[in-house]
Amino acid sequence: MDPRPAAKPQYDLYLNGAWVPSATGETFETLNPATEQVISRVAAAGERDVDAAVKAARAAFDAGKWTQLSASDRGKALLRIAEGIRKNLDELAFLETIDAGKTIGETKNIEVPLAAELFEYYAGWATKITGETIPVRGNYLAYTLREPIGVCAAIVPWNFPLLMAVWKIAPALAAGNVMIVKPSEFTPLSLLKLAEIVHEAGLPPGVFQVLPGFGPSAGAALVRHPGVDKIAFTGSTATGQTVMREAAATLKRVSLELGGKSPNIVLEDADPEAAARGAIAGIFYNKGEVCAAGSRLFVPEKLHDAVMEKVVERAKKLVPGDPLDPKTRFGAIASKPQLEKVLGYIQTGKAEGAKCVTGGERAKVGDGKGYFVQPTVFDGATNQMRIAREEIFGPVLTAITYKDLDEVIALANDSPYGLAAAVFTRDVKKAHVVARRLKAGTVWVNTYNIYDPALPFGGVKQSGFGRELGSAAIDNYTELKSVCVDLNL
């Protein structure tokens, strides 16, 4: 008997504290990208379901059973959710792996535990959301209040289904808001399991709801609905632009975490071995399906051969395999459309004249089924090639050679994106100088892909605006009210 968890054959919407089919009865299949087999059928939310969820959320918010709950009690509820996540670690990791193609090592050891940690972190924030007393002219008492926005909606991507949702859910709930989540149609399972955990934690009906469905129906309905006060979106820049345009009609609050083409800069004094490790971690974690992936590697002429030799050597050791095998370090691309997109960009890179020094093909694993791609490294590229300009969102590294510091900073900043960046150097002064000059929301020094619940994350330029994580996320989910009292007798 297989001791592993199992997905349910069918999932409904989690709406107003209950599991219900969609209003139309429509469902969709979710596939295992490593096997191309159907995992489950999932109810597809439409406009009527969104309207029902928004009304339930509004009623819950206005009734105050969550909003007016003491901050301490809200924090305790978030701790119960965190405890539920840890209790269901194996099942959540399994669902995330079979739904998104991630390795079980990543989901079980990193991502699901971090989701629990995020709820614990924001449980602590619940009692620390405070205003200020402000000295003003005259005999007045002036102070500010931080109040919840109201009905919030999160539209989350398929690359980190659970984590990207929790980045939004935890601070929103801590601040007293109610939340509706629309997961990607490619990866809804872990969030539907989270709904079970939240239900068991005892949150009132309507405070937290999950509506799996498609962007043009469920997602668009949430963005347009006048009863939604705030949209938090993570996804492509093109979709983010649509969200922003549609949200303008009702002037709802919007925060966007969008695409990236992040530069990973190796300076001349860097340790080639450390730089190569950083390059591999920057681009190949989660098969390169990371918005902040270090997809552009800038290597100085003097260190080019030493760094690239080690990068290629390490890339070749990353062999795609069964994501459920604990020994596998490189899983499957999350969907067939994404597989085709990645392979298309690889062909584009070859046609543009970049040199494919390793990988570059679809990988065969087991019986040949599954959406696997070899870890791919291009060398001899220029910053004007499409593979250096456009977000591939896959395991494709583009290496570009440069001459001096001013040139590489100009090249790094010559991008429509500005989500993240990294610099590898042994010179602490240069590290700080480069970090200041790079146009990015996050700059890592001598490391890559380091995240912490307390460290704000977000982008500039076409990578979006607003910050998630840390105290900055509380700003996303609170309104600031000024109060002025006349004390003149």
* Enzyme catalytic residues: 257, 291
Nearest to 227 by CA among 48, 46, 54: 54
Q: What Cα–Cα distance (Å) separates residue 396 from each residue in 130, 258, 402? A: 45, 19, 20
> Among residues 2, 1, 54, 44, which one has the least CA distance to residue 23?
44
- Tell the burial category of 279 from Cβ atoms under 10 Å away from its Cβ (0-12, 13-18, 19+): buried
How many beta carbons lie within 10 A of that of residue 253, not counting itself?
A: 17
Give the DSSP letter of residue 72: H
Is residue 81 within 8 A of residue 166, CB to CB? The reply is no
| SS3 at position 69 | coil
> What is the C-alpha to C-alpha distance for residues 269 and 217, in angstroms, rounded to an integer?
52
DSSP-derived letter for residue 173 is: H
DSSP-derived 3-state class of residue 65: coil
Beta bridge partners of 142: 134, 484
Q: How far is CA 182 from the centre of its chain?
A: 13
Residue 292 DSSP symbol: T
Contact 469, 456 (CB under 8 A): yes
- Identify the H or E element spanning 201: none
Q: Are 42 and 10 in contact (CB under 8 A)?
A: yes
